[in-house]
């Protein structure tokens, strides 16, 4: 039988995302509800190895559900990838009498958590926090929905000026390996084309599409480009290509950048974070370990961390088709 | 075999919701994509009976994806509930050579559409547009997600002033028969209690809960109240009750009202509307009729209008429990 | 010659407004810049009499410039209106070695500050923080600009649904004694009529105006009503009056309420708060007392508290005329 | 005596800014109020020379007060800088029986308007529309206030992620020749330093300031950089410089770009636009010509176009000092 959990630690690691604070709050309050002690760990695995801990209770997380970022701060740690680093981390947790760990982050975070759990037979539970939505085992990662709204709001603003000047805008959004953000905001922002890492549209098709759009009477256009698109040119080269190869276009580039990571989380992300925090703590109480909590078909479900890490999310092909039809 | 669809009409009816314009756009553009003619009908069934039609093409719906409300306007019609009214409506559609109808709205809209379809063997397809999320056959109705964000933003603002003054606020949100909005925004807004139509919390429990919250050191509190809650007092009577029966509270009431229905749709609602519009038109092309398109487990699915109308959505009990734990 | 200021206390009192936190931050940081000690007083004059003080330095006010409400909390105090209360307050300040006081609030706050200053020859400086913009000696009070944007955003949302349904909305905004909010948001929200405390439009003119608007082809209308309007009917009675006396209107009421007080301050209010905080502290350092800092013709100026309290701001008649012309 | 004005034309030219639509609406409605005919000219001086006109009445400008961009579209015209171009433009206006022109835009727009007015003794009135606030004769240009709020909102989001990761961000905002945007958003966004075109801070001072800020315990920092800053390095070179010359910084760059130009105008900009439109039309009716309307000490005033063009706005030195003190 698994050991009774009396004290849980929680950390955030990797890139921050809106909803991480709501998830910390949920972990802390679920602990309080079940009379389990809770400690926050600052700066992810770095702070874990340094013993940078703080006792937390229901009041410690007051007023943070609507704040972007993470009050526990985040970091990437090289040292935790070494055996020595993890030994040090384990020592700190043992000294603090911590029985289990909740790690909020993306696949790098989960890889560290899984190895740590295996090496020391230490209970861990993962909560997927990243705006990229690139984790298998949940239809939505924490922060994805908020980032979509942030980007769409920016595209709406850019479209105001694009249509006033009959311009073509290439807008770069986050997504090095996956096009989930680009695909959704492209549809929602009324983009003519969407360039994603999962498929190479090809320059010819892009040019053709823009020409068709213009002939149909559109005077301005938006092309959404994911960071990791496969068209073989960066966004500034794309602009130059159109400038040189197409007539009559006034082309501009906008790289949205880090503002996509911040801001108050959407209602969806706050509710999701609250549900995930409850599920993570209660799963640890039930003796479960090395799982990630996630949203599958509207319900909280567990997925083995190993599967979450190795899997690769797929683009919803229906959305690609919808995008094509909408840019008619 | 079903008749080939050459011309489709689209209307919005009942209470408006953010995303209706995006759905109109999607219907019109999907028609254009498939070389089907499309007519917009103004003011729902009223305009249908009057023949208040407008030819629409891909350009007619330019620049509306981010607009709240409905460019086709909406209305409630008593006359369409009569046989005479529907006969008149059918005559108008036949004169205009319309082969099928897409009706965007809630259960009232669908009831009319279903009867009409049965009486005249006329193909209809429903798109669920209402902020209340009270339609069976879709996890999300159009506008629900946007309304949640609008309400949460308002609650965040009210909390600023509540916590500056150590006040208790009763905040009324929409939801006459269902508590979906109240339950989600209650969790996301960090409410102490949530009063919904689906269960009667009871005044005693409310008082107990507020007392507990105060003893735990909270100086301000939010209670979210759905319009149709079953506690037996309206929101102003609730305030009076607390004023008279509890000490030391400075109680205020805020009724959020119609601003919950407006505003630019969220990314989620725009994408959902686009998917629903495509599915509605293509289902009619396949000869389907008297269905509602909906989102089930992340996919576009059809549900018979009859089932959509008669069914009753259920409160997610997990959310009720999460709310309890979070207000620890 | 005035005594050298070595320690300054700051408090917020009366109704809270966005920008109060930015002003607290500015007072604290200006003190730090000049090597003056600073203490924050919780809950206004209540906390002052109780000695509810907290030492503050530049780091204490980190991350609050964009937060609505006031981290020092606010309250209204009856006891401070008595001689005994103020004696107690003075005792506390003397014990804490405080040399001067910055009071952020409205006319009630300033009245208390002025009397206190006179009674004990104690240096005080006022910063006008209220959304109502009803203080003489500054073109803008802290929070006014933010509240205008909050209200206009709500009106934009209501207009979405108003124009979808061809409805008439009466929208109540804050302003018991002055119509500054109503007048500005009425123009910015495209209202047909604006009812303010400063003038009685008269029911007949309202009816006439609505009739004219309808005849001109407008299908929906917004009437902005300040809380303290002089038309002789409250907003629900207004609705009933139109329901009974005018044909073909579908009338709704929306009372915006306390959300008008919260939210992140606008850029304008943050800059204004920063300027006011600097000016308040540096004016005390120069030996000035019993003044309010304010924005006059774009510059920071001092106005005697007595004048600020007794004066009455006037409605900009040009705006009334602009409103008339715009609703043509 | 000046000729009676029976028909007025209105155009937008140069870079678009939020509030231009509200100004167009105000011009059109003021004309309607005074029974003056009004025509809109598409695409600025380009459309003027081509005779791309559209009759406008009070209803033509319905629902645009809250829309960014310009429904009349904008363009920059080389041809209008030639005598031939202006002759053609004059011919078009005469053919259309237009008696006066309202030109909404920046200094390029005003230069064209002034020359045109002089050459043909044609009445013109300018309305300053640009987010840069770089026009003499008005404390605020149309769109400046909205752009400030847009930028501050983006900085708030970036700060969420900056403080979660202890990062230094260089954020580039618009302002090629003037630092008004940078200075205001720098204060409102809590920036450590602000680099503007009007003064060269110098790299040494920047480095010193960042070091001081870090020593004081700040873990993250924001530096706001105007496009036209004089530090001698572009924003990416600045990042490289810090990477190479300072230890322990994780530096990122964000270029906010064109989203700064769009979005719904703030309440301030809508009211300002309404006032300016009324003033412009009524000044033409009074026989005035070659003036710009502007806001001076809270009142609508006229400034000769020549002065508006030749003047150079000055940075408010008080704001620079406030910025210094706030970053203590």
Residues in chain C: 328
What sign results for the dihedral spanned by CA atoms A92, A97, A99, A104? negative
More confident residue, C164 or A201: C164
pLDDT digits (tens, 9 = 90+) for D66-83: 999 999 999 989 999 999
Percent of chain C with pLDDT over 90: 86
Q: Is D70 on the interface with A (CB under 8 A)?
A: yes
Chain A from 224 to 283: CB within 8 A of any B CB: 264, 266-268, 270-271, 274-275, 278
Q: Domain check: are D222 and D188 in the same one?
A: yes
Of B16, B160, B253, the CB nearest to C262: B160
Which pLDDT does position D215 carry in this prediction? 82
In a domain, residue B110? The reply is yes
Does A134 have pLDDT greater than 50? yes
Q: Domain check: are A221 and A198 in the same one?
A: yes
Q: Domain check: are B127 and B226 in the same one?
A: no
Does C181 have pLDDT greater than 60? yes
Under an 8 A CB cutoff, do D274 and C328 touch?
no
- Quick one: which of A133, A164, A186 has its CA closest to A314? A133
Of B139, B149, B298, the CB nearest to A267: B149
pLDDT digits (tens, 9 = 90+) for C44-78: 999 999 999 999 999 999 999 999 999 999 998 99
Under an 8 A CB cutoff, do C274 and D187 touch?
yes
Boundary (domain end) residue, out of D226, D261, D296: D261
Which pLDDT does position C211 carry in this prediction? 86
Chain D from 7 to 36: CB within 8 A of any A CB: 12, 15-16, 18, 20
Which pLDDT does position A205 carry in this prediction? 86
The nearest CA of chain C is from the CA of B14 a distance in Å of 9
Q: How far apart are CA A25 and CA A63, in angstroms?
A: 9
Which pLDDT does position B230 carry in this prediction? 85
Q: Is B296 on the interface with C (CB under 8 A)?
A: no
Which pLDDT does position D275 carry in this prediction? 98
D27 known member of a binding site: yes
What CATH number should be reported for the domain holding residue B72?
A: 3.40.50.450
Cα-based torsion angle of the residue sequence A134, A140, A146, A151 in order, rounded to the nearest 10 degrees: 50
Whether the Cβ atoms of residue C131 and residue C19 lie closer than 8 Å to each other: no
- Identify the H or E element spanning A305: helix A305-310
In a domain, residue D325? The reply is no
In a domain, residue B322? The reply is no
Q: Domain check: are B129 and B213 in the same one?
A: no
The nearest CA of chain D is from the CA of C159 a distance in Å of 9
The Cβ of residue B84 has, within 10 Å, a number of other Cβ atoms equal to 10
D167 known member of a binding site: yes
In a domain, residue A316? The reply is no
What CATH number should be reported for the domain holding residue C247?
A: 3.40.50.460
Mean pLDDT, chain C, rounded, equals: 95
Alpha helices (H) in chain C, listed in sequence order: 20-33, 44-50, 83-95, 107-120, 144-165, 180-188, 203-215, 235-245, 267-285, 305-310, 317-326
Which pLDDT does position B2 carry in this prediction? 60
In a domain, residue C315? The reply is no
The CA angle D260-D263-D269, to the nearest 5 degrees, is: 90
Q: Domain check: are B96 and B238 in the same one?
A: no
Packing angle between helix C267-285 and helix D144-165, nearest 10 degrees?
80
Which pLDDT does position D1 carry in this prediction? 45
Under an 8 A CB cutoff, do C328 and D187 touch?
no
Binding residues of C for Mg(2+): 107
**Structural domain count, chain C:** 2
Q: How far is CA B55 from CA B86, B98, B234, C166, in A?
A: 22, 11, 47, 22
The one catalytic residue among D16, D132, D229, D269: D132
- Quick one: which of D23, D62, D71 has its CA closest to D272? D23
Q: How far apart are CA A106 and CA A116, in angstroms?
A: 16
Q: Which domain holds residue C130?
A: 7-143+265-310
Does C248 have pLDDT greater than 80? no
In a domain, residue B325? The reply is no
The one catalytic residue among C16, C132, C229, C269: C132
Kindly report which listed range (D29-33, D88-92, D199-203, D235-239) carries the lowest average pLDDT score: D199-203
Q: Domain check: are A223 and A183 in the same one?
A: yes
The nearest CA of chain A is from the CA of D19 a distance in Å of 12
Q: Domain check: are D271 and D219 in the same one?
A: no
Q: Is A297 on the interface with B (CB under 8 A)?
A: yes
Which pLDDT does position B21 carry in this prediction? 98
Q: Is B99 a catalytic residue?
A: no
Residues sharing a CB contact under 8 Å with residue D311, sequence separation 6 or more, in sequence order? D135, D136, D137
Does B1 have pLDDT greater than 60? no
Chain C from 152 to 191: CB within 8 A of any B CB: 154, 156-166, 169
Q: Domain check: are A77 and A22 in the same one?
A: yes
- Quick one: which of C318, C314, C280, C321 has its CA closest to C139? C314
Which pLDDT does position A216 carry in this prediction? 78
pLDDT digits (tens, 9 = 90+) for C145-162: 999 999 999 999 999 999
In a domain, residue D327? The reply is no
Boundary (domain end) residue, out of B226, B261, B296: B261
- Identify the H or E element spanning D221: strand D221-226
Under an 8 A CB cutoff, do D328 and C33 touch?
yes
Please compute the mean of the pLDDT values over residues C173-177 and round it to a whole number. 95
pLDDT digits (tens, 9 = 90+) for D141-172: 999 999 999 999 999 999 999 999 989 999 99
In a domain, residue B111? The reply is yes
The CA angle B200-B205-B207, to the nearest 5 degrees, is: 120
pLDDT digits (tens, 9 = 90+) for A171-186: 999 999 999 999 999 9
Provide the pLDDT confidence category of residue D99 given band limits of 50, 70 and 90.
very high
Q: Domain check: are D107 and D255 in the same one?
A: no
Give the strands of the sheet with B221-226, arranged side by side: B193-195, B221-226, B168-173, B251-255
pLDDT digits (tens, 9 = 90+) for B81-110: 999 999 999 999 999 999 999 999 999 999
Whether the Cβ atoms of residue A275 and residue A300 lie closer than 8 Å to each other: yes
pLDDT digits (tens, 9 = 90+) for C8-41: 999 999 999 999 999 999 999 999 999 999 999 9
Which pLDDT does position C1 carry in this prediction? 44
pLDDT digits (tens, 9 = 90+) for A59-69: 999 999 999 99
Please compute the mean of the pLDDT values over residues B143-155 and round it to a whole number. 98
Does B70 have pLDDT greater than 90? yes
- Quick one: which of D4, D3, D73 has its CA closest to D44? D73
Whether the Cβ atoms of residue A9 and residue A46 lie closer than 8 Å to each other: no
Percent of chain A with pLDDT over 70: 99
Q: Domain check: are D96 and D180 in the same one?
A: no
Q: A-B interface: how many C-beta pairs under 8 angstroms?
A: 126
More confident residue, C233 or D254: D254
Provide the pLDDT confidence category of residue C2 given band limits of 50, 70 and 90.
low
Does D2 have pLDDT greater than 70? no
Q: Domain check: are C117 and C216 in the same one?
A: no
Partner chains of C (3+ C-beta pairs under 8 Å): B, D
The nearest CA of chain B is from the CA of C190 a distance in Å of 16
Kindly report which listed range (B203-212, D222-231, D314-323) carries the lowest average pLDDT score: B203-212
Please compute the mean of the pLDDT values over residues A206-211 and round it to a whole number. 88
Q: Domain check: are D200 and D247 in the same one?
A: yes
Of D62, D188, D325, the CB nearest to C30: D325
DSSP D217: T
Q: Phi/psi at A70 (nearest 5 deg)? A: -140, 125
Under an 8 A CB cutoff, do A161 and D261 touch?
yes
């Amino acid at each position: 039988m698994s050991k009774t959990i009396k004290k849980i630690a929680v950390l955030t690691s990797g890139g921050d995302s809106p909803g991480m604070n709501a998830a910390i709050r949920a972990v802390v309050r679920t602990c309080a509800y079940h009379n389990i002690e809770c400690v926050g760990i600052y700066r992810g695995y770095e702070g874990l190895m340094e013993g940078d801990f703080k006792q937390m209770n229901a009041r410690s997380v007051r007023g943070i559900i609507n704040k972007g970022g993470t009050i526990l701060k985040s970091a990437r740690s090289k040292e935790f990838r070494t055996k020595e680093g993890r030994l040090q981390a384990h020592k700190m947790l043992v000294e603090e009498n911590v029985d289990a760990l909740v790690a909020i982050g993306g696949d790098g975070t989960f890889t560290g958590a899984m190895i740590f759990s295996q090496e020391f037979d230490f209970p861990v539970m993962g909560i997927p926090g990243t705006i990229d939505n690139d984790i298998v085992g949940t239809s939505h990662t924490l922060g994805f929905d908020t980032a979509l709204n942030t980007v769409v709001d920016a595209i709406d603003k850019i479209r105001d000026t694009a249509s006033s000047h009959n311009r073509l805008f290439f807008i770069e959004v986050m997504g090095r390996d996956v096009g989930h953000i680009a695909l959704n905001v492209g549809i929602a922002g009324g983009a003519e084309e969407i360039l994603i890492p999962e498929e190479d549209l090809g320059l010819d098709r892009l040019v053709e599409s823009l020409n068709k759009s213009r002939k149909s009477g559109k005077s301005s256009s938006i092309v959404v480009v994911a960071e990791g698109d496969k068209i073989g040119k960066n966004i500034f080269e794309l602009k130059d290509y159109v400038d040189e190869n197409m007539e009559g276009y006034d082309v501009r580039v906008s790289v949205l950048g880090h503002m996509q990571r911040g801001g108050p989380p959407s209602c969806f992300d706050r509710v999701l974070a609250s549900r995930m925090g409850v599920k993570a703590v209660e799963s640890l109480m039930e003796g479960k370990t090395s799982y990630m909590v996630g949203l599958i078909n509207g319900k909280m479900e567990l997925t083995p961390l190993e599967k979450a890490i190795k899997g690769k999310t797929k683009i919803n092909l229906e959305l690609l088709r919808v995008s094509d039809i909408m840019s008619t």
